[in-house]
Structure 1
């Protein structure tokens, strides 16, 4: 079927011998233009991808070890940010969007800084001291009611970044047609189409370079937050049936991955707590996935350009999230990265919530790891689903009426 046929095992052997040709996704575009799909597939073994942006559905699974006397910690706080403690005696899950008690969640006090779970995760990875408070009811085997101490990540038994939804395949562009400023997870949207925001690294983005998940699945080894991580499942809200263009690229979110990795190996350069005005806290993470060039089909997919990646423009002032069938048409990432798009006949400035520079740093770091024989590819034990088997919830009538 294909003129070029390689296996992951063969590519790993080339990596081991220092013979593998590794390029980032931006470089692959030029190689395919010069060599064609078959020529590029013969020449290139691995294409590295990257994305670095806010990923609200992130968090950390933490085990802080037994104290003396022991405690069954049902409530836990880290730097006054509450974590979910009802897992086991000294396990907790800290969500990136949890906010420090007393910090605002709206724009009433725009001068105040919002500190949340994402910032705690960054502080831990940066090996800064963090205040731990835990409370629990007493039992014969867990007699303590309260503990309070200062810890660093090195004091923890385990600290695992475990995110149910990261690295969205694509995302919509946000605008606001109303007469007032609105505050969203897509940032501050000014009135009357005064700005537009977007969140993807486009041609560098991992799932846009493997749009049908031919090489990405459960068990895929990835770059995660400056360390090594793994895809552990398809992400929550994974929706692969979304409309796609001739390149196979979806025009909205579509795919997503659930990921896991050891925070003790991570680098704070690639994990940043975020504060989004009027919305709350989040976490920006660098995620990179190596794409093995097994054949010319993968060369085709990994040479996708920004201008071939479409995204719908949605009005967050009126239509989102209740009427997502109403939109202001399509734009593409070349237009978005130019700094302006046209919406409803108006020239609108654009701003990213993700960093292309950061995404390139992820892709280049991963590329160097492979070339230095520090990172090898894995064959997924199961590929991500390419179809969905669920129905969306129906909206409540009062919301359909706009109440």
Structure 2
């Protein structure tokens, strides 16, 4: 029906028709797939949720005399310095280092990243390896996003296509990356926004690939590669959506252009720091099949209910539950009603889809052709399988 080039011509002329994915779903209910596909050019999706496999690349610029940084702290949070002399990588879940033997886990890399994006000053302390070309041994200063060369997010794993629902069938509270799980199945927590989520609306990654331009943290970003733990071979429903964690994407974008509203440090009690991140993906309507997938509703999407009280990689489940049931606030587990709540913000996920729609309508955001597809054949390898093989040999 259309090409990305044709859609971009409409964007540049400000004649493009853009709907959020919720608007698309409502329109399909009114007029059907074929008519909706004729009417719309681009569908916008969004999510705002914790994405802990995220971080920032920072280049400080050289000091005088120069320093080859081997250890570094930003507001007390260690940054990785094992490559170029003044290049750093700050992970979102890295916690503030222990002071006087006590670790302060409430603040971490996600908070420092968010503060830098907001323009706040950050205290830097560095220790160097003294060499003939890098004679300086120590360095302390205050940096902001405007006083460093490069500051961009490079996130190894974002946008899980689906995830799990966490519960606790044990006798004591558990503190997890989904937040606190109360004992005896007293609550359930899920993280994916369901039918709003980008990858649920393109389950086979037909329009999303390496080089796809996206909304990332309030600025423009790109899909850089498949994400870590990318598992497109997950079992799927007849509508092609996965029944558990499946595809993921690695994302990149200039943090100097981002807005701290969409990049927020957070803390999970007794677990550690993380990062709440806003991501929006435009889906070009190249054919009717695109609309078929984007018409999926929360009733048509499921996630596994996983019991965290069993401390194993593969935990028992209480079956599958639909996102419609999750969003109702109550699910049933073995005949018992259990409160359910999301980590994702449904309101902010909608706002991202709306904002991206406005950018496209105003001609400020054009679409890109992927330069390569994301793998659809990647399997998932548990680490202990190799140890077992070595032991047998």
Q: Please tell me the TM-score bracket, short chain as reference.
A: over 0.9
Deviation at 1:385?
1.1
Among 270, 273, 284, the residue aligned to 2:262? 270
Secondary structure class of the residue paired with 1:102: coil
Secondary structure class of the residue paired with 1:209: coil
* Paired position in structure 1 for 2:314: 323
Does residue 46 of structure 1 match 2:42? yes
Residues 288-341 of structure 1 deviation map (CA, whole Å, 9 limit, x = unaligned): 0000011110001111111111001010111x64334x3101111111111110
Residues 269-302 of structure 1 deviation map (CA, whole Å, 9 limit, x = unaligned): 0000010001100001000000001111000111
* Paired position in structure 2 for 1:381: 371
* Paired position in structure 1 for 2:347: 357
* Paired position in structure 2 for 1:192: 184
* Paired position in structure 2 for 1:137: 129
* Paired position in structure 1 for 2:205: 213
Among 82, 92, 117, the residue aligned to 1:86? 82
Preserved CA contact (<8 Å) 2:231 2:380: no
* Paired position in structure 1 for 2:62: 66
Decide whether aligned partners of structure 1 residues 397 and 295 sit closer, same or farther in structure 2, where only a CA change above 3 A counts.
closer
Secondary structure class of the residue paired with 1:12: helix
* Paired position in structure 1 for 2:235: 243
Secondary structure class of the residue paired with 1:85: coil
Deviation at 1:160?
0.7
Preserved CA contact (<8 Å) 2:229 2:380: no
Deviation at 1:37?
1.2
Secondary structure class of the residue paired with 1:123: helix
Deviation at 1:393?
2.7
Preserved CA contact (<8 Å) 1:195 1:348: yes
Decide whether aligned partners of structure 1 residues 322 and 390 sit closer, same or farther in structure 2, where only a CA change above 3 A counts.
closer
Secondary structure class of the residue paired with 1:20: coil
CA distance in 1, matches of 2:385, 2:265: 33
CA distance in 1, matches of 2:325, 2:355: 27
Secondary structure class of the residue paired with 2:69: coil
Secondary structure class of the residue paired with 1:155: coil
CA distance in 1, matches of 2:343, 2:386: 31
Preserved CA contact (<8 Å) 1:103 1:114: no
Preserved CA contact (<8 Å) 2:233 2:379: no
Q: Which blocks of at least 5 consecutive residues in structure 2 are unaligned?
A: 389-393
CA distance in 2, matches of 1:142, 1:180: 53
Aligned residues: 387
Among 2, 14, 18, the residue aligned to 1:6? 2
Does residue 290 of structure 1 match 2:286? no
Decide whether aligned partners of structure 1 residues 323 and 103 sit closer, same or farther in structure 2, where only a CA change above 3 A counts.
farther
Aligned-pair Cα RMSD in Å:
1.7
CA distance in 2, matches of 1:76, 1:177: 42
* Paired position in structure 2 for 1:333: 323
Deviation at 1:383?
1.2
* Paired position in structure 2 for 1:345: 335
Decide whether aligned partners of structure 1 residues 390 and 239 sit closer, same or farther in structure 2, where only a CA change above 3 A counts.
closer
CA distance in 2, matches of 1:162, 1:389: 23
Preserved CA contact (<8 Å) 2:95 2:105: no
* Paired position in structure 2 for 1:20: 16
* Paired position in structure 1 for 2:120: 128
Decide whether aligned partners of structure 1 residues 396 and 12 sit closer, same or farther in structure 2, where only a CA change above 3 A counts.
closer
* Paired position in structure 1 for 2:391: none
CA distance in 2, matches of 1:216, 1:198: 24
* Paired position in structure 1 for 2:51: 55
Preserved CA contact (<8 Å) 1:62 1:91: yes
| Runs (4+) off by over 2 Å | 320-324, 389-398
Secondary structure class of the residue paired with 1:42: helix
Residues 250-279 of structure 1 deviation map (CA, whole Å, 9 limit, x = unaligned): 011100000000000000000000100011
Does residue 96 of structure 1 match 2:88? no
The TM-score, its normalising length taken from structure 2, stands at 0.96
